[in-house]
C-alpha cells in the first residue's frame, strides 16, 4: 500500500506518532545527541511507513538482532559485520574522511583488529608462523606536502592463506599482525603474507541474511593498515591485489581503485630486498606509499 492510498485519518495518526516520539527527545541536554535521536526517529519511522512493515517482519528483525548479540563476544563482532554488509561502515568512512589533495583513501576497519599487537622492526616478519606465501611490503609515509613522517605508527593485520585471522583460532596465537614505526625518512618495510580471498564469518545471522538475498560472503584479497602520527588524520585502510576477480563484488564494499596494488610474484631463488633466503619458495612484493591528511581539514 502506498502512502497515497492511505486515508487522511490513517496518515494523520502515523504522522502524529512520529512527531510525538521526536518531541520526546527535545529536552536532551546534549545538542548532538538530541539531533541524532530525532533524525534517527524520523528515518526509522519513515522506513516502517514506506515498506508498510508487518508485525511479524518487525519481530523477525528483533530476533535477528538478538541472535547477533548472542553470537558476539570478545573475538567476534557480529554488529560490525552487519554494518559492513549493509555498506554503513563504508558510508561512515566516506563521511568522516573527506577527500583532501592526494591523501590516501580510507576504507573499513573490519572486526579483526586487536590492540597491543607485537612490535617489529622495519624489515621484520609479521606472519608469526601463519601459513601463506611470503610477501615483502614497503613504502613511505608522507604528509600532503610530500614531507616524510618519521615515527608514524603503522598497525598491520591480515588473514592467513586459509582465510582465518589469528583471533579466529582457539589457541590464543598471535600471527599475521604487528605494529612498526617509520624511520627518519618516513620509510617502512616488513614481511607478511600475500593476501588471499576469504569469506566473512557466515555461520551466524549476517551469513544467513546474505544467503537469503543471494549475496556472497567473500572478501577481496587485502591487507589492513592503521596509520597514526601526531597532527595528521589517522588512516584506516586496506590494500587490494590487482587482478583479484572479487574486486568488483567485495562483500563489505571496501574496494577503492586507488588502493588496488600490484603484488609482483617472484620465483624461488630470486634475491630478496633484505637477504632473506627463499631458495625453494615463491614470494611476492608490493609497494604502498601512504599520504596522510592534516588532522583538521
Q: Where are the domains of the chain?
A: 3-53, 81-292
pLDDT > 70 in the chain, percent: 99
User: According to the model, what pLDDT value does residue 160 have?
Assistant: 97
pLDDT at 47 over 90: yes
Q: How far apart are CA 182 and CA 179, in angstroms?
A: 10
How large is the average pLDDT for residues 73-97? 93
Mapped onto helix, strand or coil, the DSSP state of residue 270 is: coil
Residue 71 has pLDDT above 70, yes or no: yes
d(CA 247, CA 254): 9
Residue with cell 596522510: 292
Mean pLDDT across the stretch 178-206? 97
pTM: 0.89
Cell of 177: 599482525
Which neighbouring-strand residues pair with 224? 157, 238
* Residue 182: closest CA among 237, 123, 269, 223: 123
**pLDDT at residue number 296:** 84
**What mean pLDDT do residues 285-296 have?**
96
Is residue 123 within 8 A of residue 182, CB to CB? The reply is no
Per-residue pLDDT at 2 exceeds 70? no
Q: What is the pLDDT of residue 110?
A: 86
- For residue 89, what is its C-alpha cell? 561502515
Residue 134's pLDDT is 98
Distance (Å, whole) CA 247 – CA 29: 45
Mean of the per-residue pLDDT values of the chain: 96
Q: Has residue 1 got a pLDDT over 80? A: no
Question: Beta strands of 46-126 (E only): which ranges?
Answer: 124-125
CATH node for 81-292: 2.60.130.10
Distance between CA atoms of 250 and 204, rounded to whole angstroms? Answer: 19
Amino acid at each position: 500500500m502506498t502512502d497515497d492510498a492511505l486515508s487522511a485519518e490513517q496518515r494523520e495518526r502515523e504522522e502524529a506518532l512520529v512527531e510525538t516520539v521526536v518531541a520526546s527527545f527535545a529536552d536532551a541536554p546534549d545538542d548532538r545527541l538530541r539531533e541524532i535521536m530525532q533524525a534517527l526517529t524520523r528515518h526509522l519511522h519513515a522506513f516502517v511507513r514506506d515498506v508498510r512493515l508487518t508485525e511479524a517482519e518487525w519481530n523477525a528483525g528483533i530476533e535477528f538482532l538478538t541472535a547477533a548479540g548472542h553470537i558476539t563476544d570478545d573475538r567476534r563482532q557480529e554488529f560490525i559485520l552487519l554494518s559492513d554488509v549493509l555498506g554503513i561502515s563504508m558510508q561512515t568512512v566516506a563521511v568522516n574522511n573527506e577527500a583532501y589533495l592526494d591523501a590516501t583513501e580510507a576504507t573499513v576497519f573490519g572486526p579483526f583488529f586487536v590492540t597491543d599487537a607485537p612490535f617489529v622492526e622495519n624489515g621484520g616478519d609479521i606472519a608469526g608462523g601463519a601459513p601463506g606465501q611470503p610477501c615483502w611490503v614497503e613504502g613511505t609515509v608522507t604528509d600532503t606536502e610530500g614531507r616524510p613522517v618519521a615515527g608514524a605508527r603503522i598497525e598491520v593485520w591480515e588473514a592467513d592463506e586459509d582465510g582465518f585471522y589469528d583471533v579466529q583460532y582457539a589457541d590464543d596465537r598471535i600471527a599475521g599482525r604487528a605494529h612498526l614505526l617509520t624511520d627518519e625518512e618516513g620509510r617502512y618495510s616488513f614481511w607478511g603474507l600475500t593476501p588471499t580471498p576469504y569469506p566473512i564469518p557466515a555461520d551466524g545471522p549476517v551469513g544467513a541474511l546474505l544467503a537469503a538475498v543471494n549475496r556472497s560472503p567473500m572478501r577481496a584479497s587485502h591487507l589492513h593498515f592503521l596509520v597514526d602520527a601526531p597532527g595528521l588524520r589517522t588512516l584506516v585502510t586496506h590494500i587490494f591485489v590487482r587482478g583479484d576477480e572479487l574486486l568488483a563484488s567485495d562483500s563489505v564494499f571496501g574496494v577503492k581503485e586507488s588502493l588496488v596494488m600490484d603484488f609482483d610474484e617472484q620465483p624461488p631463488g630470486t634475491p630478496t630486498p633484505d637477504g632473506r633466503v627463499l631458495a625453494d619458495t615463491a614470494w611476492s612484493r608490493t609497494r604502498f606509499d601512504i599520504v596522510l591528511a592534516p588532522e583538521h581539514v
